[in-house]
Amino acid sequence: MDAVNFLVQCLNAVQYGLLLFLLASGLTLIFGIMGVINLAHGSFYMLGAYMAFVLTPWFADSFLLMLVAGGVLSALFGYVLEWAFYSYLYERAHLQQVLMAWALILVFEELRSLAVGNDVHGVPVPAWLSGSVPLGELMTYPVYRLFASVACIAIAAALYWLVNRTRLGMMIRAGASNRDMVRGLGIDIRRLYRIVFAGGVALAALAGMIAAPMSSVYPGMGSSVLIICFVVVVIGGIGSITGALLASLLVGFVDTFGKVFFAEYAGIGVYLLMALVLIWRPEGLLSVRRA
């Protein structure tokens, strides 16, 4: 592999890893703070992808505005969804949480089928991002993939600022460490749960919207990312945003270069990584310690 090919694969790995981070950061917050095993998280990714497909004709080339609108709509949807369904699960057994999430997956898939059908759809790349950047004499790299990486980094930076530099972030970090203490301090834990869940849904939907122009929009696409998302959460440590970022980039590099060098065994590379990390650190790379 020459230097240009190596650079292309590194860019692909980073872009894939950052998209995984958007998905996994929401999931690790929901699981770490609320204690809910949200198997429907992949459906929110699908929601974002189909939202991009539906909203694209309305926003034309205003792709950034479409992302903002989609993020706001998905956050509102997540807030209502937590109030209507998930708020009844906190004191229930994990089996009941799983059954509720599975039921929601089936409902979302049926609603998606009724609304837009079962065909595979494509989302066009915005005209201002449709070019490519030359790499060496023979190869180019799509501008949109670079934009996807930059957008994910910007969202990650905003999330870091929110969690580490704001009062809401302080409550989120406290809730991830000790939910009972947060209740004892008089903080409305139910409202905090709804905000966290709405943020998790918005992050997953944004990942789907950003990924839509790079791949097809198709039925069941949420299921394909759910397992790898849980792998990232386990490797990074439940409740840790920084751990989710490190784990996402690790998974991105292992998956990308595994397909290049060990194509026949690439499918097991990520799970082998998870096994090795769990042997070394059973709690994950940067798990949040609970009091």
Whether 232 is in a domain gets the answer no
Please give the pLDDT value at position 241.
84
Does the pLDDT at position 104 exceed 80? Answer: yes
Measured CA to CA in angstroms, residue 248 lies from 45, 92, 190, 283 at distances of 16, 30, 29, 16
Whether 10 is in a domain gets the answer yes
Q: Give the structural domain span for 81.
A: 3-218
pTM here is 0.90
Whether 197 is in a domain gets the answer yes
pLDDT classification of 177: cutoffs 50, 70, 90: low
Whether 45 is in a domain gets the answer yes
Which residues, 6+ apart, have CB-to-CB distance to 15 below 8 Å?
A: 145, 146, 148, 149, 152, 252
Please give the pLDDT value at position 289.
54
Average pLDDT over residues 24-31: 85
Dihedral sign computed on CA atoms, order 249, 254, 260, 265:
negative
- Our count of domains for the chain comes to 1
| pLDDT digits 0-9 by tens, 58-67 | 887 788 999 9
**203's tokens:** 């992050």
Whether 280 is in a domain gets the answer no
